[in-house]
Amino acid sequence: MVTSMSQTESPQIDSARIAQVSRGLDRAEIERREKVFSVVNLGVSYNGKPALEDVTLDVHTNTVTAFIGPSGCGKSTFIRCFNRMNDLIPGAKVEGTVLYHGADLYGRAVDPVDVRRRIGMVFQKPNPFPKSIYDNVAFGPRVLGLKSGLDERVEKALHDAALWDEVKNRLKDSALGLSGGQQQRLCIARALAVEPDVILMDEPASALDPISTTRIEDLMHELKREYTIVIVTHNMQQAARVADMTAFFSVLVHEDGSARRGVLVEYDTTAKIFTTPADKRTEDYVTGRFG
């Protein structure tokens, strides 16, 4: 009996999945998603000294976007622009435009406190309040007057931060008794409890051990289904593992060595940045050839 190739049983092939595995998330696919942030010609200076110049990029919904670069390149300065944290630093001046869902984040009518409710932030060092685990997570909702269904809200936030199973029987215990990794996930739960739209993470795993780091990274993959995540990281492999888009920042030094300022060198899919970056400076940085 003659059997042709087309007559034989072939396994089910998910070609979209294969494309993603072989090339990473497609840039066009990312850019089709709604823009959460549109940054145009952004510059930040401290007491008249430029720290970051002329940054233009978009952040799209339900993605993880990583900012990488050497110390002093302005990546932390940049992420702080997304929830107006630079407002709290005396002498800091932000120029250019940051649109959040199309609206000017630095507009006169915008309340920075409201901004920070929608755009939560997790810092390098876990910073739980010296209160119970429950009260840490309930803090934000209470401040905002969201008192009904508080238990459910706390439980959901702890679930989403992959911490619930570890703390469900000791919610009244002090948060300071948790391990560093658990404290960081608690801080993530605290940010999630007010139902933000975006979570900014500034070096969220740099103070954690490798296992805790892996849990935070896994968590980012889960969280991006519901939230948009922006992360600053020193760890390039972490950016390679978690981010869909990666922006590489570098330091420009004046010829006389006087002023240093951060610039955006390249912004593309993480696959592109870590396989075939367009700019030599990016290549040198990600390969670790210069640093």
Q: Which residues bind other proteins (CB under 8 A)?
A: 236-237, 240, 274-277, 283-284, 286-291
Nearer to other proteins, 37 or 67 (CB): 67
Tell me how far, at minimum, the Cβ of 274 lies from other proteins, in Å.
Answer: 5
Q: What is the CA radius of gyration of the chain?
A: 21
Nearer to other proteins, 102 or 291 (CB): 291
Q: What's the CA gap between 110 and 119, in Å, rounded?
A: 13
Tell me how far, at minimum, the Cβ of 55 lies from other proteins, in Å.
Answer: 21
Residue 208, C-beta contacts closer than 8 angstroms, at least 6 positions apart: 180, 181, 184, 216
Nearer to other proteins, 79 or 265 (CB): 265
Nearer to other proteins, 85 or 271 (CB): 271
Tell me how far, at minimum, the Cβ of 284 lies from other proteins, in Å.
Answer: 8
**Measured at the alpha carbon of residue 235, what is the angle toward residues 251 and 275, in degrees to the nearest 5?**
80
Q: What's the CA gap between 141 and 79, in Å, rounded?
A: 24
Nearer to other proteins, 86 or 238 (CB): 238
Give the pairing type, strands 119-122 and 64-68.
unpaired
Give the pairing type, strands 92-100 and 35-46.
antiparallel
Q: What's the CA gap between 70 and 66, in Å, rounded?
A: 13
CA 78 to chain CA centroid, nearest Å? 12
User: Which pair of tokens denotes residue 98?
Assistant: 């940051």
Q: What's the CA gap between 83 and 114, in Å, rounded?
A: 9
Tell me how far, at minimum, the Cβ of 11 lies from other proteins, in Å.
Answer: 21
Q: Positive or negative, the Cα torsion across 186, 190, 191, 194?
A: positive
Nearer to other proteins, 90 or 288 (CB): 288
Tell me how far, at minimum, the Cβ of 237 lies from other proteins, in Å.
Answer: 6
Nearer to other proteins, 184 or 250 (CB): 250
Q: What's the CA gap between 105 and 83, in Å, rounded?
A: 8
User: Which pair of tokens denotes residue 33?
Assistant: 């998603």
Tell me how far, at minimum, the Cβ of 246 lies from other proteins, in Å.
Answer: 11
Spatial strand order in the sheet of 260-269: 103-104, 92-100, 35-46, 49-60, 260-269, 245-253, 64-68, 228-232, 198-202, 119-122
Nearer to other proteins, 26 or 166 (CB): 26
* Residues counted in the chain: 291
